[in-house]
Amino acid sequence: MDLRKFITPEYEAWVSRCVIEGTGQTVGFEIDLKPRIGTSPRTYFTDDCGLSFRRATDIMQMPGHGIELGQSVQEPKILSTLQYALSNWKQASGYSEKRDQICLVCGGLRSLLDSLPQTPTLLHLQTVGSIEQKARSVADNKVQEVDEELISLLDRLRAADAEDGRKILSPERFECFLAESQSRP
């Protein structure tokens, strides 16, 4: 079990990784924030390595259910506390930051591939999804292998043609892709 507690001046934060039983596949992170003075905890969930968080309601008592997700967190103070707690969890748990970098690139690739509606991209999108899932789930000593798989995919996309006659990852698209990937929160 990888549940960890972190204390900030205003909150106690309980952070845990959510995994699928039997496969060990990571589906996201759950963070319970309890104000140090007063009210009961609130639960939040992220499935994008901490880029965004949603309010969550635990419905485990209902058969076949787990977490019901609500609205995205917009309040800066809560968002920064959630990011701080998740970052500390990752550091304390040995969860490689390389995983997050791979997931960011995969998110950018999905956006890029989605922007090419006339180009057959389903196989590439499936590969991106597979790489991202591996990045979230493999042991730390296997993350480098996933990174190499991503580099290989990027090389294939630089060589594959899009419907507009340019490469899927042409120099122009690559520049836009990098700018968008780096501008994500």
Alpha-carbon dihedral angle through residues 98, 102, 103, 104, given to the nearest 10 degrees? 100
Residue type, 134: K
Alpha-carbon dihedral angle through residues 82, 72, 99, 140, given to the nearest 10 degrees? 60
74-126 pLDDT tens trace: 889 999 999 999 888 888 877 777 887 888 888 888 888 888 878 888 889 99
For residue 111, which phi and psi values (nearest 5 degrees)? -60, -45
Spatial distance between the Cα atoms of 61 and 114, rounded to a whole number of angstroms: 38
In 3D space, the residue among 5, 27, 32, 8 whose CA is nearest the CA of residue 17 turns out to be: 27
The Cα-based distances of 81 to 27, 77, 164 in angstroms read 21, 6, 44
pLDDT: which is higher, 127 or 72: 127
103-116 pLDDT tens trace: 888 888 888 888 88
Spatial distance between the Cα atoms of 144 and 163, rounded to a whole number of angstroms: 33
Q: What is the pLDDT of residue 64?
A: 45
35-70 pLDDT tens trace: 888 788 888 998 877 888 988 876 554 444 466 677
How big is the chain, counted in residues?
185
pTM over 0.95: no
Q: Which two tokens stand for residue 172?
A: 């122009």
